[in-house]
Amino acid sequence: MAVSKITEVQAGSTGRRRITILGATGSIGTSTADLVARNPDTFDVAVLTANRNVADLAALARDLRPDIAIVADDASYNDLKDALADTGIEVAAGSDALVAAAREPVDMTVAGIVGAAGLDATLAAIQQGSVVALANKECLVCAGDLVLEECAQSGATLLPLDSEHNAIFQVFETENADDVEKLILTASGGPFRTWTQEQMAGATPDQAVAHPNWDMGRKISVDSATMMNKGLELIEAAYLFPVDSQDIDVLVHPQSVVHSMVAYTDGSILAQLGPPDMRVPIAHALAWPARMKTPVERLDLAAIGSLNFELPDNERFPAIALARHALELGNGSTAVLNAANEIAVQSFLDNLIGFLDIAKLVEKALDQVVARPVQTLNDFRDLDTETRAVTESLVKLVS
């Protein structure tokens, strides 16, 4: 697969940066907003968006003073307008307004909308041709070929915000790419790392979202519990970096200190270490190719004492193998995987199915949906809609 324009140096990197934050009220967005607020002489905010969280969006808008604040939910427009009535900040609502704002020229867009719902706006940001700091892994999972083609046409640069891919980016020697032996994605193992299948069969949504190390949204937390998150990251890494998918490994690392590694043919393994705080990879992207100060707690390796690693248990956690299988199948199968997983995870959070049913439903959807290449947004929408309908039918058979 073609590598994205991930290695190009950003033009004008030493001056003020004008940024858009898509998904400003989520975990990525709020971490980004914190760093931006701490550096008022460096960043100007053009656009803030949220799905329907008007209160938090309005609060962020008052702090960061964007040109425009957008809520994707049309029904929330009047609430947002009232909340910002005395600020002079422009207000808009709806998916079309969000996409139009994402196309506005800025130096950097932070793409933090969770799930396939973020694809349209992220593609719009790519089309305006600057830097897109990508936290939405589903964009590459659902339409990786399309995303990279749009990057090639517009000249946009993708920077990875996921802690694992950002870690690889920091230690991947582009000039020695042919000497890379493999990428090693680390995984915390989630809250059920030591649970038996019998215990996981009775797991509740509250237990699944109680991640031991990271503070994340509910959907991503469940993905971590099933380890589907690592499967999606494996697919993303295959698009971002010039390595064969078979040369991407996953290693469970409960402390979440080593965020990922690159192994070279001379026997060297380069790793990036840091605290489990998303402000570290976000700061790396915001300041790239330079560095910026962050308020995060520094690692004390002596206090930590030891770092542990183990292979993932594919029998208890089949999601990684499912993701690898979808990647090998190609022809839109990863889009099927993602859509089925989103429906299955939400069904679990709604107490319609059990925890172990998530991976089972994804596997059944991969078997039942006839995948086809995703070359346009309409290709993706058709395949995504069909997969969601199939998976919802499967949920009804289980619940």
Exposure pattern of 191-219 as b/e (b: 16+ CB <10 Å)?
bbbebeeeebeebebeebbebebbebeeb
Tell me, yes or no, whether 141 and 40 share the same domain.
Answer: yes
Collect all residues with Cβ–Cβ distance below 8 Å to 300 and sequence separation of at least 6.
none
How many independent structural domains does the chain possess?
3
For residue 284, tell me if it sits in a domain.
no
Q: Examine the fold and report which residue of 144, 161, 178 is the final residue of a domain before the chain moves on.
A: 161
Tell me, yes or no, whether 26 and 151 share the same domain.
Answer: yes
For residue 7, tell me if it sits in a domain.
no
Tell me, yes or no, whether 157 and 171 share the same domain.
Answer: no
Tell me, yes or no, whether 149 and 171 share the same domain.
Answer: no
Tell me, yes or no, whether 110 and 198 share the same domain.
Answer: no
- Angle 377-398/333-349 helices, nearest 10 degrees? 40
For residue 11, tell me if it sits in a domain.
no
Residue 73 domain boundaries: 17-161
> What are the contacts of 94-103 at 24+ separation with CB within 8 A?
95/120, 97/70, 98/22, 98/49, 98/70, 98/72, 99/124, 100/124, 101/20, 101/47, 101/49, 101/68, 101/70, 102/20, 102/22, 102/47, 102/49, 102/128, 103/127, 103/128
Output the domain CATH number for residue 39. Answer: 3.40.50.720
DSSP element (H, E) containing 100: helix 95-102
Residue 215 has a pLDDT of: 66
Tell me, yes or no, whether 196 and 181 share the same domain.
Answer: yes
Tell me, yes or no, whether 236 and 266 share the same domain.
Answer: yes
Cα end-to-end span (Å), the chain: 39
Q: Examine the fold and report which residue of 101, 133, 161 is the final residue of a domain before the chain moves on.
A: 161
For residue 356, tell me if it sits in a domain.
yes
Q: Examine the fold and report which residue of 145, 161, 177 is the final residue of a domain before the chain moves on.
A: 161
One pLDDT digit (tens) per residue for the chain, 399 residues:
334 444 443 434 457 999 999 999 999 999 999 999 999 999 999 999 999 999 999 999 999 999 999 999 999 999 999 999 999 999 999 999 999 999 999 999 999 998 888 999 999 999 999 999 999 888 999 999 999 999 999 999 999 999 999 999 999 999 999 999 999 999 999 999 999 999 999 999 999 998 776 667 789 899 999 999 999 999 999 999 999 999 999 999 999 999 999 999 999 999 999 999 999 999 999 999 999 999 999 999 999 999 999 999 999 999 999 999 999 999 999 999 999 999 999 999 999 999 999 999 999 999 999 999 999 999 999 999 999 999 999 999 987
Question: CA-based Rg of the chain, rounded to a whole angstrom?
Answer: 20
Tell me, yes or no, whether 22 and 151 share the same domain.
Answer: yes
